[in-house]
């Protein structure tokens, strides 16, 4: 399918345009399809690294008293295996499908923010390399993938290993949240006309749920990591029991993220299976709305069950009971999905392709993992199983039997769309069966090993415990899994070289991505596809259940032609600046400064790159609001979790300092009242500035924008003066728990104010240069939303820190 | 894609919820409530109810800023859902965290 060249408008430097090849075109690409491929290839490389780590672990455990690696190396291997597989392999594999497929499935030309999408990728890639660079300097993280304190405090883990982990995960979190905001905006605001929410493919729905989980679950672990970083780098006391801190706080913050993370890993696979089964059963998905609601419920419940990972911490009977019930409840929507998939296959005209094999495999194997998960919901049972190989077996059934099978299912299903060539079905089926056998050989015996008492994370064991045979079998199985992955790689390479050419719709698909060529053109669709209902493309081809085809809809008019975003080299530069900053934290302060400067300059260039591009002016989408405004509201939801977690920690630790000064001895309420008034009034100036920009009153716009920034600077001045006074009076970050919580909470708020001031001054300078007018009102509005949010956060901080006795 | 004229219309629809006079009134109320907040902490007989009182006033200020300055009162409902939904879950999580970490401390102490 070709589009008329005149209709294809692109910016200058459109490096990803049709025909553009070469390394530079990939580095500067902002095309969602190319970024999807980059995610997929990167994830595959990290998956192989994580897999090799797993093989060494299994070699070490194959027999008693094996000496393949030392205990220290073993610790590093299982830590990096878990971290790599979760953050660098499974998540980015899912991201590959989000990137490639979501715009195609909703009939869009790209994501809402293509350059932000590229930035997310580059931060992910460089963050992953940063994490793995720890091996090169002989300091790989070794505190387990959930990094429990006190083990990860400086006292017990000196050296750089945990520093790599703490900084690396924060970097990866930034990437994930950016991508999450981007995809929520894309899905909510860029659907083709007629594609209502309930008509969306289930994969898109599950992706939407996952993006919400990402933007809401990452802030708590980010806070936990920030506390850990401050404890390690600056000597604060968040996890210092002697100073009144609580190591279990880390467990809560980690698992508030960690349990939703399980759904972040598994829901994309559920979405893929929900697309593949109807296609190859040639039936609509049974009870599709219920499958969607179940996914939403799983996501919602996912936030209320985190502490079932902590039954052994001794939370008490009430907390145990609440989290136990919540965990059992979450099995209901999950079970609903299983039955809906079975009902979809039932009576269908099954075409047993490799993709179908993997979908069916997921239904069977994930159910096994789910059942052992329900067992952990019972605290007395969990106490027996926790930290044993039973748990290892359970989560590998979920993450391999569920996530990986789902992702392989998606790989076989969408490969022809992405490459224009078929994978070899025969080789694929061989690979599937080897994986099924090897996977079960590896992990099913681990249930038994755990049940007879083998703890997880031991680097060796003595003979005579009955563990030898099943450990050996487990190791044999692990090499079988490796063989299966190798066969997939061979299949992929053969397909790319000489695979049969795939048509646009090789599987007789049901959704919009099959309506364009394989691979799709750079602009995805020559005309935005019409949507006739759920499974729109199927209805278009075959009609509804009675065979009635819909009357063709006229193509959506695009009077200004097709706009494609141009390539940009600022995303990789900005990501590089961030990584240099992180590396500098391990090397020397000047490196931090250099990295931060690069990131800030690149960030500015990134932000202003298309400031005057008329194609970027109108970004109003399905919800009737501008993409940028929608994205800011999503981001503010994420910020609610960020500051909520920080304020909760302050309150949980209130009154627990073992030495003074205490808050009532030092806080200056009259002074802070004045700074609070100043910040509130800055919000008034902000709305006046927006009003002036919207009405084209440039003189007032300049005045109010500058006034808002000035009031922000005055607030920061008050804060700097207050901090200085406190330090003179003996309250520092390190003095006591109050000092740690106070300075970090108010300091991060001050950092947000400083960023807001920078944004305001940028707008003001643009206005002075005549580059801010009524067309830019939405930019002022978006900065204003951020500014007002910073204000409302201060309203809460002022009350809980200064006013409540 | 629309013309600049359409863009102006979109921006107005999304941003022109209140008049300048309304914004000034909201700012005055915020100032007054802040003064009240600071005042009540010095009134001894309010001590038993000071925490709920302060939280109520802070909530009122929060709502005023979000509804008027951030225009949530005038914007499409989905935006409210995108903010209020996470806000409620964040508050519930914060309360749970305070309770759980506090309980643990009590048990240890």
3 state SS for A275-291 = HHHHHHHCCCCCCHHHH
Query: For A354-387, what is each residue's pLDDT tens digit?
Result: 999 999 999 999 999 999 999 999 999 999 999 9
Q: What is the CATH number of the domain that holds A57?
A: 1.20.210.10
Together in a domain, A650 and A531: no
More confident residue, B88 or A6: B88
Residue A563 in domain: no
Residue from A16, A32, A81, A199 carrying the catalytic annotation: A81
Interface subset of B 29-48, CB within 8 angstroms of A: 30-31, 34, 37-38, 41
What is the pLDDT averaged over residues A619-628? 91
Q: Are residues B16 and B43 in the same domain?
A: yes
Top-confidence residue, A619 or A199: A199
Is the previous residue joined to B14 through a cis bond, with omega within 30 degrees of 0?
A: no
Same domain (yes/no): B1, B46: yes
Buried residues in A42-77 as b, exposed as e (16+ CB within 10 A)? bbbebbbbbbebbbbbbebbbbeeeebbeeeebbbb
Q: Which two tokens stand for residue A18?
A: 């049709």
Note the pLDDT tens digit of each residue in A227-279: 999 999 999 999 999 999 999 999 999 999 999 999 999 999 999 999 999 99
Flag the least confident range among A506-510, A620-624, B19-23. Answer: A620-624
Q: Is residue A738, in this structure, part of any structural domain at all?
A: yes
B59 and B102 fall within a common domain: no
Mean pLDDT of B45-49: 93
B84 or A554, higher pLDDT: B84
State whether residue B20 sits within 8 Å of chain A by CB. Answer: yes
Taking residues A90-114, report their average pLDDT.
97
Contacting residues of A for B12, CB less than 8 Å apart: 694
- Domain boundary pick from A496, A514, A542: A542
Mutate to test the interface with B, among A679, A792, A801, A802 (most CBs of B within 10 A): A792
Q: Is residue B61 domain-shared with residue B109, that is, in the same domain?
A: no
How far the first Cα of chain B sits from its last, in Å, is 64
> Which pLDDT belongs to residue A4?
43
Contacting B residues, span 59-88, partner chain A, CB-CB under 8 Å: 61-62, 65-66, 68-71, 75-76, 78-79, 82-83, 85-87
Residue A74 to residue A176: CA distance in whole angstroms: 29
Q: Is A799 within 8 Å of B55 (Cβ atoms)?
A: yes
Residue whose tokens read 């520093």? A163
Whether the predicted pLDDT of A644 surpasses 80: yes
The single residue of A456, A556, A698, A700 carrying the catalytic annotation is A456
Domain extent, residue A720, equals 643-803
What is the reported pLDDT for B103? 54
CB A388 within 8 A of CB A455: yes
- B22 with B34, same domain: the answer is yes
Tell me, what's the pLDDT at B18? 86
Residue A320 lies in a domain: yes
Asked whether residue A616 is domain-assigned, the answer is no
In a shared domain, residues A382 and A521: yes
How many degrees, rounded to 5, is the angle at CA A777 between CA A771 and CA A783?
A: 95
**Domain end position, chosen among A495, A524, A542:** A542
Residues B71, B81 within the same domain: no
Residue A566 DSSP label: P
Provide, rounded to the nearest whole percent, the portion of chain A with pLDDT above 70.
97
In three-state form (DSSP H/G/I as H, E/B as E, the rest C), the secondary structure along B52-101 is HHHHHHHHHHHHHHHHHHCCCCCCCHHHHHHHHHHHHHHHHHHHHHHHHH
**Pairwise CA distance, residues A82 & A175, whole Å:** 19
Does this complex have an ipTM over 0.85?
A: yes
pLDDT of residue A10 exceeding 60, the answer is no
d(CA A645, CA A174): 17
Assign residue A689 the CATH number of its domain.
1.20.120.80
The share of chain A scoring above pLDDT 90, in percent, equals: 90
- Residue B55 shares a structural domain with residue B106: no
Q: Which residues of B touch A149 (CB under 8 A)?
A: none
Average pLDDT over residues A554-578: 86
- For residue A474, what are the CA distances in angstroms to A125, A449, A479, A690? 32, 10, 9, 64
pLDDT of residue A19: 55
In angstroms, what separates the C-alpha of A289 from chain B's closest C-alpha? 20
The pLDDT value recorded for residue B104 is: 44
Q: Which residues of A touch B38 (CB under 8 A)?
A: 669-670, 673, 803
- Residue B56 phi, psi dihedral angles, 5° rounding: -65, -45
With respect to residue A265, please indicate whether it lies within any of the assigned structural domains. yes
Residue B39 is part of which domain span? 1-75
User: pLDDT confidence of A565, banded at 50, 70, 90?
Assistant: confident
Question: What residues pair up with A421 in beta bridges, in sequence order?
Answer: A501
Cβ-nearest to A795 among B58, B70, B75: B58
- Using the predicted structure, report yes or no on whether residue B9 has a pLDDT greater than 80: no
- Contact A77/A61 with Cβ under 8 angstroms? no
Beta pairing partners, A564: A10
Measured CA to CA, the distance from residue A240 to residue A185 in angstroms comes to 41
Do A249 and B94 lie within an 8 Å CB cutoff?
no
Which of A560, A625, A774 has the CB atom closest to B8's CB atom? A774
Q: Is residue A598 part of a domain?
A: no
A505 and A647 fall within a common domain: no
Q: What is the mean pLDDT of residues B73-96?
A: 95
State whether B3 and B18 are in the same domain: yes
Name the residue among A559, A648, A805 with its Cβ closest to that of B94: A648
3-state helix, strand, coil split of chain A in percent (to 5) is 70, 0, 25
Measured between alpha carbons, how far is A477 from A483 in angstroms, rounded to an integer?
10
Check residue B13 and give its pLDDT. Answer: 41
List A8's β-bridge partners, or say none: A562
* pLDDT band of B11, cuts 50, 70, 90: very low
Radius of gyration for chain B, computed over Cα atoms and rounded to the nearest angstrom = 20
The answer to whether B7 contacts A684, with C-beta atoms less than 8 Å apart, is no
| pLDDT band at A559; cut points 50, 70, 90 | low
A21 catalytic? Reply is no
Residue A612 within any structural domain of the chain: no
**pLDDT recorded at residue A566:** 86
Q: Judge whether residue A754 has pLDDT over 60.
A: yes
- pLDDT score of A494 more than 60: yes
Contacts of B64 in chain A (CB under 8 A): none
The structure tokens 């005309």 sit at: A527
Determine the distance from the C-alpha atom of residue A266 to the mean position of all C-alpha atoms in its chain, rounded to a whole number.
13
Residues of A in Cβ contact (< 8 Å) with B62: 792, 795-796
Which of A480, A514, A542 is the C-terminal boundary of a domain? A542
CA torsion sign for A216, A219, A221, A223 is: negative
For the packed helices B20-40 and A669-694, what is the interaxial angle rounded to 10 degrees? 170
- pLDDT of A290-344, one tens digit each? 999 999 999 999 999 999 999 999 888 999 999 999 999 999 999 999 999 999 9
Specify the DSSP element, H or E, that contains A325: helix A317-345
pLDDT the model gives residue A346: 96
d(CA A110, CA A102) in angstroms, rounded, equals: 9
Calculate mean pLDDT across residues B71-96. 95
If asked whether residues B70 and B80 sit together in one domain, one would say no
- Asked if residue A731 has pLDDT above 50, the reply is yes
**The pLDDT of residue A39 is above 60:** yes
Number of domains in chain A: 2
Judgement on whether residues B70 and B54 belong to the same structural domain of the protein: yes
Element (H, E) at A328: helix A317-345
pLDDT tens across A54-63, in order? 999 999 999 9
Tally helices (H) and strands (E) across chain A.
25, 2
Assess whether B80 and B45 both reside in one domain: no
Q: What is the mean pLDDT of residues A650-677?
A: 94
Do B63 and B25 reside in the same domain of the chain? yes
> How many structural domains are present in chain B?
2
Mean pLDDT to the nearest integer, A175-188: 98
**Res. A532: pLDDT tops 80:** yes
Please check whether residues A192 and A313 belong to one and the same domain: yes
- Confidence (pLDDT) at A805: 82
Confidence band, pLDDT 50/70/90 cuts, at residue A593: very high
Residue A532 in contact with residue A194, Cβ under 8 Å? yes
Contacts of A269 (CB under 8 A, 6+ apart): A94, A362, A366, A402, A403, A404, A405, A406, A407, A409, A410
């Amino acid at each position: 399918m070709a589009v008329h060249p005149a209709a294809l408008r692109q910016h200058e430097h459109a490096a990803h345009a049709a025909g553009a090849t070469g390394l530079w075109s990939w580095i500067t690409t902002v095309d969602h399809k190319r970024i999807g491929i980059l995610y997929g290839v990167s994830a595959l490389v990290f998956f192989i690294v994580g897999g090799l780590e797993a093989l060494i672990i299994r070699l070490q455990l194959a027999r008693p008293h094996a000496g393949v690696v030392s205990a220290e190396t073993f610790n590093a291997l299982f830590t990096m295996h878990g971290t790599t597989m979760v953050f660098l392999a499974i998540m980015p594999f899912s991201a590959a499908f989000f990137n490639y497929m979501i715009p195609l499935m909703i009939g869009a030309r790209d994501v809402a923010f293509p350059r932000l999408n590229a930035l997310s990728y580059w931060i992910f890639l460089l963050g992953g390399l940063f994490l793995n660079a720890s091996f090169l300097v002989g300091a790989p993280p070794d505190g387990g993938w959930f990094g429990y304190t006190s083990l990860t405090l400086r006292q017990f883990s000196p050296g750089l290993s945990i520093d790599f982990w703490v900084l690396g995960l924060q970097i990866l979190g930034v990437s994930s949240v950016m991508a999450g905001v981007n995809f929520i905006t894309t899905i909510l605001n860029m659907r083709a006309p007629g594609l209502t929410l309930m008509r969306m493919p289930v994969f898109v729905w599950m992706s939407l749920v996952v993006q919400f989980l990402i933007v809401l679950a990452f802030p708590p672990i980010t806070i936990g990591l920030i506390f850990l970083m401050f404890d390690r780098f600056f000597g604060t006391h968040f996890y210092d029991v002697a100073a009144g801190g609580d190591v279990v706080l880390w467990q809560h913050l980690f698992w508030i993220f960690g349990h939703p993370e399980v759904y972040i890993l598994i829901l994309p696979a559920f979405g893929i299976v929900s697309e593949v089964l109807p296609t190859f059963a040639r039936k609509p998905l049974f009870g599709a709305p219920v499958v969607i609601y179940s996914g939403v419920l799983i996501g919602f419940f996912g936030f209320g069950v985190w502490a079932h990972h902590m039954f052994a911490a001794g939370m008490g009977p009430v907390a145990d009971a609440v989290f136990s019930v919540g965990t059992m409840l979450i099995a209901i929507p999950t079970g609903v999905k299983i039955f809906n998939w079975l009902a979809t296959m039932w009576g269908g005209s099954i075409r047993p392709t490799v993709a179908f094999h993997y979908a069916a495999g997921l239904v069977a194997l994930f159910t096994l993992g789910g059942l052992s998960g329900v067992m952990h919901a019972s605290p007395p049972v969990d106490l027996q199983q926790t930290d044993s190989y039973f748990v290892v077996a359970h989560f590998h059934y979920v993450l391999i039997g569920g996530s990986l099978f789902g992702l392989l299912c998606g790989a076989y299903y969408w490969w022809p769309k992405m490459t224009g060539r078929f994978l070899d079905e025969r080789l694929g089926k061989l690979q599937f069966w080897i994986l099924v056998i090897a996977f079960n050989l590896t992990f099913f015996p681990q249930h038994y090993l755990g049940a007879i008492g083998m703890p997880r994370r031991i680097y060796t064991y003595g003979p005579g415990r009955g563990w030898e045979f099943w450990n050996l079998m487990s190791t044999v199985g692990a090499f079988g899994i490796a063989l299966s992955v190798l066969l997939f790689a061979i299949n992929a390479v053969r397909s790319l070289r000489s695979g049969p050419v795939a048509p646009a719709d090789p599987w007789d698909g049901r959704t919009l991505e099959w309506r364009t060529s394989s691979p799709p053109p750079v602009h995805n669709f020559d005309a935005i596809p019409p949507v006739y209902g759920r499974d729109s493309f199927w209805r278009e081809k075959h009609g509804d259940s009675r065979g009635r085809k819909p009357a063709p809809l006229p193509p959506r008019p695009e009077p200004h032609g097709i706009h494609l975003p141009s390539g940009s080299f600022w995303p990789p530069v900005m990501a590089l600046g961030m990584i240099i900053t992180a590396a500098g934290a391990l090397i020397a302060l000047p490196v931090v400064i250099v990295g931060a400067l690069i990131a800030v300059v690149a960030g500015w260039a990134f932000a202003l790159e298309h400031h005057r591009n008329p194609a970027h002016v109108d970004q109003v989408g399905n919800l009737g609001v501008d993409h940028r405004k929608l994205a800011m509201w999503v981001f503010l939801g994420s910020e609610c979790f960020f500051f909520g977690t920080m304020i909760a920690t302050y309150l949980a630790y209130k009154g627990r300092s073992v030495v003074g000064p205490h808050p009532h001895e030092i806080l200056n309420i009259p002074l802070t009242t004045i700074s609070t008034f100043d910040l509130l009034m800055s919000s008034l100036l902000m709305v006046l500035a927006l009003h002036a920009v919207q009405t084209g009153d440039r003189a007032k716009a300049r005045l109010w924008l500058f006034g808002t920034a000035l009031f922000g600077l005055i607030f920061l001045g008050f804060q700097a003066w207050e901090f200085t006074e406190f330090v003179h009076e003996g309250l520092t970050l390190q003095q006591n728990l109050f000092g740690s919580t106070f300075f970090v909470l108010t300091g991060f708020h001050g950092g947000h104010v400083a960023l807001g001031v920078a944004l305001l001054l940028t707008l003001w300078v643009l206005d002075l240069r005549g580059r801010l007018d009524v067309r830019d009102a939405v930019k002022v509005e978006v900065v204003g939303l951020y500014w007002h949010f910073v204000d409302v956060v201060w309203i809460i901080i002022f009350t809980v820190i200064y006013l409540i006795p | 894609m629309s013309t600049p004229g359409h863009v102006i219309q979109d921006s107005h629809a999304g941003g022109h919820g209140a008049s300048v006079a309304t914004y000034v009134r909201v700012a005055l109320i915020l100032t007054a409530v802040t003064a009240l907040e600071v005042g009540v902490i010095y009134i001894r007989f309010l001590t038993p109810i000071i925490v709920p009182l302060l939280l109520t006033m802070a909530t009122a200020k929060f709502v005023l800023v979000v509804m008027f300055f951030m225009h949530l009162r005038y914007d499409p409902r989905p935006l409210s859902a995108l903010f209020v939904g996470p806000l409620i879950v964040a508050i519930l999580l914060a309360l749970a965290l305070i309770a759980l970490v506090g309980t643990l401390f009590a048990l240890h102490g």
